[in-house]
Structure 1
């Protein structure tokens, strides 16, 4: 039987934007992204510094102003999207912590009730033993 938690993080509805921000954060925070992005940057610089400059066709010569603009735009868009994902994860973590607290509280109440039952049984057993000893 699954416990009925009022705020189960697994059942939170997700909008398209939330799913997208989680995906962007998962991709943007990976070594694969870092390595691929590094290769793209070096490729861009190599292409504009050596390959296309031989024919005078470089579209973004050193100091790579267009590349800087694209990197700044990417950072300006990617940072808030990753922050949205982190905020969502923090909310999920908060709800999971609240659920853990609720479970622990319920377990504590049950354990206390069991202690009371065991104490009552022990007292009844002690009374029965005392009564049997008196009747001897």
Structure 2
């Protein structure tokens, strides 16, 4: 009694004729791998066949492509995080420079005068000036002092100094309030930007984990298919 020959088919990838036991119907290829298969076989026929050796090679390329996409998404996420941090850092550093650009010469002089007038150096020199003034008009020029007691000229100079110094200090304080307001607005912008970026990064991480899980399940399904196919082939050889 003659043995019935086993049916054969042609693989659409390598175009070799093999036993149908060593081939898989084209319509059973997973949808995720179809894109890669159609790149290799433009005239892919869902009614045809593909051999297991070509299928396993395409599976390996598909898994490698999935892993490269994961690494690419991670690299892109790292770049976005670094760019965001760099923008925040520049925003904080440029605050004083931006404020200094709008200062006039009078504003700078007023700030220097207010800074010197509110220091111990000014108090020391001012006290020394008063003592020298009183000493000259009391002991040195005792017979013909230019500002005898009760030192009316000195009081006039002190009043004039106070009248000039007070508005200068007030102008400097107003600018300090403007600077504090700019700093508060800058801090608010940085905090708001950081909060938005944290949310965006969190959403991207969730998306990345979702894609990662989906690809992991897809890879696991491919491995399961390969194990099932290997088990079926082993059973047929027994």
1:130 CA drift (Å): 6.5
How big is the alpha-carbon RMSD for the aligned residues of Structure 1 and Structure 2? 2.5
Q: Deviations over 1:55-79 (max 9, x none)?
A: x111111111111111011001101
Asked whether 1:91 is paired with 2:178, we answer: yes
Q: Does structure 1 retain, via aligned residues, the 8 Å contact 2:107–2:172? A: yes
The counterpart of 2:104, out of the listed 11, 15, 19, is 15
1:123 CA drift (Å): 3.6
Asked whether 1:114 is paired with 2:201, we answer: yes
Structure 1 alignment gaps of length 5 or more: none
Paired position in structure 2 for 1:42: 131
1:51 CA drift (Å): 1.4
SS of match in other structure, 2:145:
coil
Paired position in structure 1 for 2:41: none
When you count strand as a share of all residues, which structure comes out higher?
Answer: 2
1:39 CA drift (Å): 0.3
Structure 2 alignment gaps of length 5 or more: 1-85, 225-238
Q: Does structure 1 retain, via aligned residues, the 8 Å contact 2:91–2:190? A: no
Q: 1:111 to 1:60 in 2, by over 3 A?
A: same
Q: Which structure: larger Rg?
A: 2
Provide the C-alpha distance between the structure 2 equivalents of 1:16 and 1:105, rounded to a whole number of angstroms.
35
Structure 1 window deviating more from structure 2 (114-123 vs 14-23): it is 114-123
1:10 CA drift (Å): 2.1
Paired position in structure 2 for 1:28: 117
Q: Does structure 2 retain, via aligned residues, the 8 Å contact 1:9–1:95? A: no
SS of match in other structure, 2:155:
helix
| Equivalent residues, number | 132
Which consecutive segments of 4 or more residues in structure 1 shift more than 6 A?
A: none
Q: Deviations over 1:54-113 (max 9, x none)?
A: xx1111111111111110110011010011011112112211221121111111111100
The two structures have a TM-score, normalised by structure 1, of 0.82
Provide the C-alpha distance between the structure 2 equivalents of 1:34 and 1:80, rounded to a whole number of angstroms.
18
